[in-house]
Structure 1
Amino acid sequence: MFGPTSAGTLIGATPFDEIMIEQWRAAFDGPFMSAMDIVRAVLPSMREKKWSRVCCS
């Protein structure tokens, strides 16, 4: 059984081939878009310093 996760929460224990694409998108979009929001917020400072690093885990 596999199920997409969202913020660490299992969205049901559903067989892989029964998980709807919308479930995968919702599970992916939350963490991914949060990381993108953070990068966008610090990007001006990173450009100003001409060097920086973003670490996501």
Structure 2
Amino acid sequence: MEVPGFTLLLQDFCGYCPDFDAEVDTFDCKSLGGAPKATHSIRCRNRRRCARIAENLKVKQQNE
């Protein structure tokens, strides 16, 4: 589902994660003229940690 003004910047392993903690970056577009608008990018604060875990699991699986 696409929601105008919102962008989800999530990894596949983010789905159903109990440690998901939303981090939202907002870009205010009202200074560009016209009606006030904003865009929001949503990602997880724990994304780097989880990416390291996923990479370590991948390496471990390849070594077995």
The TM-score range, normalised by the shorter chain, is 0.3 to 0.5
The structure carrying a bigger helix percent of its residues is: 1
The higher radius of gyration belongs to 2
User: TM-score of the superposition, structure 1-length normalised?
Assistant: 0.32
Greater share of strand residues, 1 or 2?
A: 2
Larger RCO (alpha carbons 8 Å, 6+ apart): 2
- For normalisation by structure 2, the TM-score amounts to 0.30
